[in-house]
Amino acid sequence: MTTNTKIFTTLIAASFLLIIGIVLRYTGAADVSTTAEIQNAAPTIDTIRFATTAYSADTLTSTGILPNIGTTRTIHVNGTIHDDNGEADIASSTLALVFHKTSSTNTCTADNNDCYRINTCDTDYTQGSDTEITYNCEVPITYFIDATDPASIYESDTWTASVTIADIATAQGTLAATIEVNSLLALNLPDAIDYGTRSLGENSSSTTNIETVLTQRGNTKADVQVSGTSMSCSLLGTLPATAQKWALTDVDSASSAALTTTAAAAARNIDLRTNESSELSASLYWNIAIPASGVKGICTGNNTIAVIAQSNGIAWNPHDNASDISVARQFHYRTEELPTTGYVTSWTDVSGNARNVSGAPGDQPASVISSLLNSKTAARFDGSTDTLTRAAVDLGQSWSIFAAFTTGSSVTGILVSDGYSSNDVSYMLGAASPFMGVGELVTGIHRSNSWTIAKEASPLSAATGYLAAGIRTSGSGLFVYKNGSQVATAAAGSATTFNSGDSLFIGRRWDIAEVPFWNGDIAEIIAYNGSLSDTERQKIEGYLAHKYGLQSQLPSGHPYKTTAPTN
* 59-79 tens-digit pLDDT: 899 899 999 999 999 999 999
The maximal CA–CA distance of the chain, rounded, in angstroms, is 169
Domain extent listing, the chain: 44-179, 187-309, 327-553
Q: Parallel, antiparallel, or unpaired: how do β-strands 222-228 and 210-216 relate?
A: unpaired
Beta bridge partners of 255: none
Binned at pLDDT 50, 70 and 90, residue 18 comes out as very low
- Asked whether the domain spanning 187-309 has the same topology as the one spanning 44-179, the reply is yes
Per the prediction, the chain carries an average pLDDT of 87
Binned at pLDDT 50, 70 and 90, residue 308 comes out as confident
Q: What pLDDT score does 234 carry?
A: 97
Q: What is the pLDDT of residues 512-522, one digit of tens each?
A: 555 678 999 99
Query: Integer distance in angstroms from the first to the last C-alpha of the chain?
Result: 129
Q: What pLDDT score does 497 carry?
A: 47
Query: Which has more confidence, 200 or 517?
Result: 200
Q: What is the DSSP string of 239-286?
A: E-GGGEEEESSS--GGGSEEP-SS-EE----B-----SSS--EEEEEE
Picking from 513, 524, 522, the residue whose alpha carbon sits closest to that of residue 382 is 522
The domain covering 187-309 belongs, at the CATH homologous superfamily level, to Fimbrial-type adhesion domain (2.60.40.1090)
256 near 208, Cβ under 8 Å? no
pTM for the model: 0.58
Q: What is the pLDDT of residues 526-566, one digit of tens each?
A: 999 889 999 999 999 999 998 998 988 999 889 988 778 87
Under DSSP, the state recorded for 52 is S
- Does position 438 have pLDDT exceeding 70, yes or no? no
What are the C-alpha distances in Å from 565 to residues 276, 432, 518, 547, 562? 26, 31, 30, 11, 10
Cα–Cα distance, 490 to 51 (Å, whole number): 67
Q: What is the mean pLDDT of residues 397-424?
A: 81
Beta bridge partners of 115: 100, 111
Binned at pLDDT 50, 70 and 90, residue 11 comes out as very low
Binned at pLDDT 50, 70 and 90, residue 179 comes out as very high
- Does position 449 have pLDDT exceeding 90, yes or no? no
Binned at pLDDT 50, 70 and 90, residue 180 comes out as very high
Q: What pLDDT score does 510 carry?
A: 65
Q: What pLDDT score does 120 carry?
A: 95
Q: What pLDDT score does 444 carry?
A: 79
CATH class of 327-553: mainly beta
82 near 46, Cβ under 8 Å? yes
Q: What pLDDT score does 24 carry?
A: 46
**What's the length of the chain?**
567
Domain 44-179 has CATH 2.40.50: no
